[in-house]
Amino acid sequence: MVCAGSNPVMPEAMADLVAAARGGDKSAFDELVRVTFPDTYTLAYRLVGHEEDARDVVQEAYLRAYRGLGNFRGDAQFTTWLYRITANCASTHLGKRRRHRHEEMPDDDLVPDTHFVGDPAAQSDATALRAELHTALQALPPKLRAVVVLRDVYDLPHEAIAEELGISESAAKVRLHRARRQLRERLFPLPGEEGASHAV
């Protein structure tokens, strides 16, 4: 399981920053951006699969968060609320981009795998597997990709995923099941599955 990086800010400090930002303190919001940016960008990048697109998504997500901060009541963690906004922005962005282009992520955009330093063959295999996984993820419909990334990369429970995406918990489970099945069929097809349709 590959999980997103943990936030170094204590919950109490995060709550204080959110309260100050809601009160109009621009520097407090700037600090919220600083401490949440790594995980927010990582989520956007994994959802859209391209650096430039991820930057656009993050910019839009923080803009929406800033405009909607007054409506944030603290029922969920700030990061949970922000991730939901980010996932929604990514879905909207992908819908627009998909109508105009389809591009693969260049090899040099792949995150280097340090586990196989000194073993060129193993490193090459790992890079090839990551590329295959990326291609398979990008082939998923955005709503399925969002669920599988949030569950299998960010290790979030179904309840949190449902809350972040604005869907029911049962819908989140159904989408996760479909996403995992389609990934398996693309990466490790059984006899007769090679030409299977992946329409949802």
pLDDT tens digit string along 18-47? 999 999 999 999 999 999 999 999 999 888
Residue 103 and residue 45 in contact, taking contact as beta carbons nearer than 8 Å: no
**Candidate CATH numbers 3.30.70.120, 3.30.360.10, 1.10.10.10, 3.40.710.10; the one for domain 125-200:** 1.10.10.10
The pLDDT assigned to 133 comes to 79
CA distance readout (Å), 113 to 32, 105, 152: 29, 16, 18
Q: Model-level pTM? A: 0.63
pLDDT exceeds 50 at position 3: no
Task: Report the CATH number of the 1-101 domain.
Answer: 1.10.1740.10
Instruction: Give yes or no on whether 1-101 and 125-200 have one common fold.
Output: no
The pLDDT assigned to 109 comes to 38
- Parse the chain into domains and list their residue ranges: 1-101, 125-200
- Give the number of other CB atoms < 10 A from CB of residue 8: 8
pLDDT exceeds 60 at position 126: yes
The pLDDT assigned to 18 comes to 92
Q: How large is the average pLDDT for residues 71-80?
A: 81
The pLDDT assigned to 105 comes to 39
Q: Alpha-carbon distance 7 to 35, whole Å?
A: 7
